[in-house]
Amino acid sequence: MKMMFSAAALLLAAALPWDNAQAETVNRNATLNIAYGNRPGTLDPYLTTNNATSDVDRNIFEELFTLNDKFEPVPELVASYTLSDDRKTYTFVLRDGIHFHDGQRLTADDVVASMNRWLAVSTQGKANLPGAQFTKIDDKTVQLTLPAPSLITLNVLADVKNIAAIMPERLIDEANSTKKPVTELVGTGPYKLAEFKQGEYLHLTRNDNYVSRKEPASGLSGEKKADVKDIWFRYITDESTRLAGAMTGEYDIVFNLPKDNIEALSNLPDLSLTRPESGGSLITYLFNKQQGPFANVKLRQAFNLALDVHQTLLAGYSDPRFFVEDPSLGFPEQVDWYSEAGKPYWNQHNLAEARKLVKESGYNGQEVVIIATKEYAELYNLAIVAQQVLKQIGVKSRLDVYDWPTVLQRRQDPKNFDLCALEFSMRQVLHQYPFLDSRARFPGLSNSPEIDTVLDGIKQAHSLKDARGLVDKLNVLTWQYLPVIVLGRTTPEPVAIKKNVHGYHDLIGPVLWNVTVTQP
């Protein structure tokens, strides 16, 4: 299998001293309290790519394939597989002895039901495997049939944000019949859902019947040990409260630390600040391209022309340590995907030309609606900058502020917004960014046949080396059509971790299995 990335594993920059850990006793009945800044709008893994959902669901559900620490897709619930000579038919043999949290044995019926629903409703399935179909061969064998060969099939199946979760057939049948999200979270993972109180907390507890793979742990793959009995995600939306909880030791792990005050934690004796070596997110402005003022590409181009990227990112993220200015859809360590071909369109900061384009767009004074939430402080700051920039080029706007679940809900209807600031977590292939492909039907609703054609051309290539020219073309087309404006990328965020918590690491989100808590 060809490597998608040359990046090293997302290991912690500062490893904990294991000689101290060895002198302590692992407490397998420990509780891990996590302060988490954002609340999930839904827990159905098929219906969102939001971190607040995937960071929880990866502990509950497993996929046919997942990612190792080199970002290669490797089997998870699959024991073995073959690919036909025409590259259009995958045959997957499932692992033996796997049971769901409710005690039911995993069978091909569950996989076929789960994957066909995922193909039908998820942004990844609709955009990247259109026309694909799963069928049952026997109780432990399933087949995936593609209408055309695709270089990225296994990467898509291993998506870490729009998780292709395998769950019992009965839950899929219920969701299909009611046309509503899955009502129970039942997977095969190392932890199971104990309780979820919307907006307040989510409680996971150990799955004592979990059957792990035997390979060494690597990224999201290999051996998974539930060495902590209970995990609580405490939804603390106020930055100062999360910071205080880190300083007092109320929480074992604290995410979404306020960037202006991180230094206050650096000298606390019982706390470590850790940062993944690579990763981060694309920082973007997303347009509503279906209706409203930004349906006109010239107005999108005018806003892009007016931006001063450095000042915009500085206003959003406070300090250059927390962002990198870059026009590429890919990250530099993604040697097959990184491209500076779009750079001429980026960071031009030309207000005079921007005002000319506003007039050429036919803009007639409509109010641009910027949708935002204070639960993501950096994105809220970017929304304020957007309002200021629009004013500079003669475009009226208003800022509609909601809690994050409401933003997610309102964003589904194009009548509710024209512009929002969003981060998109690093993905292993560019096709997994849902704002690119018109078939994804992601909020903002891209509709560029040229981009769709290039995305398909990359998938149908025999290798990424053969697709290099198309990757450059994709970056240029993105800057011309502007489904989003890529300002740059975040650097991996520091996480505050108590020093008696060992084994934590990150791969496009926290990895909480194989974590231990010790006591003297």
Please compute the mean of the pLDDT values over residues 332-355 and round it to a whole number: 95
Structure-block tokens of residue 136: 């049952």
Question: What are phi and psi for residue 119, nearest 5 degrees?
Answer: -60, -35
Give the side-chain half-sphere CA count within 13 A for 163: 31
List b or e across 486-514, with b for residues whose CB sees 16 or more CB atoms inside 10 angstroms: bbbbbbbbbbbbbebbbbbbbbbbbbbbb
Question: What are phi and psi for residue 236, nearest 5 degrees?
Answer: -110, 100
Name the pTM for this structure: 0.87
Structure-block tokens of residue 188: 């095969």
Report domain extents, the chain: 18-275+494-519, 281-490
> In the prediction, which pLDDT does 362 show?
95
What is the percentage of the chain residues whose pLDDT exceeds 70? Answer: 96
Q: What is the pLDDT of residues 95-123, one digit of tens each?
A: 999 999 999 999 999 999 999 999 999 99
Q: State which amino acid sits at residue 208.
A: D
Q: Is the pLDDT of residue 318 over 80?
A: yes
CA distances from 367 to 294, 301, 364, 387, 395 (A): 11, 17, 9, 11, 7
Q: What is the pLDDT of residues 132-189, one digit of tens each?
A: 999 999 999 999 999 999 999 999 999 999 999 999 999 999 999 999 999 899 999 9
- 5 versus 469: which is more confidently predicted? 469
Q: Is 292 exposed, middle or buried (0-12, 13-18, 19+ CB in 10 A)?
A: buried
SS3 category, 485: strand
> In the prediction, which pLDDT does 420 show?
97
Please tell me the class of the 18-275+494-519 domain. alpha beta
- In what side-by-side order are the strands of the sheet with 201-206? 191-197, 201-206, 230-235, 31-36, 253-254, 495-498, 271-274
Structure-block tokens of residue 472: 């450059």
List b or e across 433-469, with b for residues whose CB sees 16 or more CB atoms inside 10 angstroms: bbbbbbbbebbbbbebeebbebbbebbebeebeebee
Q: What is the pLDDT of residues 402-439, one digit of tens each?
A: 999 999 999 999 999 999 999 999 999 999 999 999 98
Is the distance from CB of 93 to CB of 78 less than 8 angstroms?
A: yes
Structure-block tokens of residue 340: 């500076």
Give the side-chain half-sphere CA count within 13 A for 55: 25
Q: What is the pLDDT of residues 32-79, one digit of tens each?
A: 999 999 999 899 999 999 999 999 999 999 999 999 998 899 999 999
**Longest C-alpha distance within the chain, in Å?**
71
Please compute the mean of the pLDDT values over residues 442-463 and round it to a whole number: 94
Rounded to whole angstroms, the Cα distance separating 28 from 492 reads 29
* 281-490 CATH: 3.10.105.10
Q: What is the pLDDT of residues 464-489, one digit of tens each?
A: 899 999 999 999 999 999 999 999 99
Rounded to whole angstroms, the Cα distance separating 436 from 422 reads 14
Same fold, 18-275+494-519 and 281-490: no
Structure-block tokens of residue 451: 């981009």
Q: Residue with structure tokens 């091909």?
A: 108
Is the distance from CB of 492 to CB of 279 less than 8 angstroms?
A: yes
Is the distance from CB of 181 to CB of 47 less than 8 angstroms?
A: yes
Please compute the mean of the pLDDT values over residues 339-357 and round it to a whole number: 97
Please compute the mean of the pLDDT values over residues 313-318 and round it to a whole number: 95
H or E element that contains 374: none
Compute the mean pLDDT over every residue in the chain, rounded to the nearest whole number: 92
Q: Is the pLDDT of residue 382 over 50?
A: yes
> In the prediction, which pLDDT does 171 show?
97
Is the distance from CB of 51 to CB of 506 less than 8 angstroms?
A: no
Q: Is 266 exposed, middle or buried (0-12, 13-18, 19+ CB in 10 A)?
A: exposed
Q: State which amino acid sits at residue 479.
A: W
Q: Is the pLDDT of residue 238 over 50?
A: yes
Is the distance from CB of 10 to CB of 69 less than 8 angstroms?
A: yes
Give helix 377-392 / helix 297-306 axis angle, nearest 10°.
Answer: 100
> In the prediction, which pLDDT does 180 show?
92
Rounded to whole angstroms, the Cα distance separating 409 from 57 reads 19
Q: Is the pLDDT of residue 277 over 80?
A: no
Confidence of residue 23 (pLDDT cuts 50, 70, 90): low
> In the prediction, which pLDDT does 335 show?
87
What is the percentage of the chain residues whose pLDDT exceeds 90? Answer: 86
Confidence of residue 267 (pLDDT cuts 50, 70, 90): confident
